[in-house]
Structure formats: C-alpha cells, structure tokens
Amino acid sequence: MTTAPDTPAAQSPLLYTAPISVRWRDLDAFNHVNNSTYLTYLEEARVQWLQRLPGPWSDEHAMPVMAASELNYRLPIEWPGEVHVQLYCTRLGNSSMTVGHRIVDAADHNKLYCDGHVVMVWMDPATGKSVPLPQALREAASQAA
C-alpha cells in the first residue's frame, strides 16, 4: 500500500472532497480502473466543487479550459470501490488556477491511488484570450486558505 499523507497537494488548502463510486464500466482488461478514467474522476470532482461556489464561475465571456495535467499513479483502483477525490488550491494566478488532487480510498485516506495537479485557465471563448478568474472562484479558493 502507498501511504502519502504529505503529498504536495495535501500541504495546500483543501477546497473540496468528492465522493466517487467506482463503476463496472471503469475497469480495463486487467480488472482495475483504466488510467484514463482517473481524469474523468478528477473532472467530476472539479465540476462538483465549481457547482457549489456561491457565485458564477463561468459565463459567455469566461470559461475554464484545462491547460496541463499531471497524474502520478500510485495504486490500482479496484471494483467494487468508493474513492474520495480531494482537491486543493496549490496556486492562484490572475487567469489561472492550479488544482492539486489526491484520489484516496473512501474508508482509508492514507491509501493513495493517485496524486498530481491540473492547471485551469479561464478564457473568453470568442477571443481565445485568457481573462481574470471569476470573483466567486477567487473568494472560494482564498477562504480555503
């Protein structure tokens, strides 16, 4: 078992913990969750967090796009299972936010399946140019600190 409670993300403010149920369809030929599905779990967790913000985080002039991702696969996730995706604010810029993540076992947060981070940039879809982070997002990330 890999235990890593002090991963870089875990040293940052916790934004949100998303419960995720492992689905049968998530499995690959080796009977564990396919590595690409980890990105789906992370996306679901980010959307759950964003939907809980007390103000708008996206509109016709500002929406998030993923600019980069880093995933460190620590352990295979098996079915049946329940995981928690922990999201952390590791950097807050003018138009971007680095979201650290940890995917851990729901019953044992010391059982680490994956860690890493994604960089989200807010952009105007009409121009393709970056725009300042929405105030609701900035406030939520700052309050987590």
pLDDT for position 142: 85
- Residue-wise pLDDT for 95-134, tens only, equals 999 999 999 999 999 999 999 999 999 999 999 999 999 9
User: How far apart (Å, rounded) are the C-alpha atoms in residues 97 and 89?
Assistant: 7
Mapped onto helix, strand or coil, the DSSP state of residue 86 is: strand
- Residue-wise pLDDT for 41-90, tens only, equals 999 999 999 999 999 999 999 999 999 999 999 999 999 999 999 999 99
pLDDT grade, residue 13 (50/70/90)?
Answer: confident
User: How far apart (Å, rounded) are the C-alpha atoms in residues 12 and 42?
Assistant: 17
Domains along the sequence of the chain with CATH: 9-144 (3.10.129.10)
User: How far apart (Å, rounded) are the C-alpha atoms in residues 79 and 23?
Assistant: 7
pLDDT for position 33: 97
Q: State the pTM of this model.
A: 0.90
pLDDT for position 144: 76
Flag whether pLDDT at 3 surpasses 50.
no
Flag whether pLDDT at 1 surpasses 60.
no
Total Cβ atoms within 10 A of residue 108? 11
pLDDT for position 8: 67
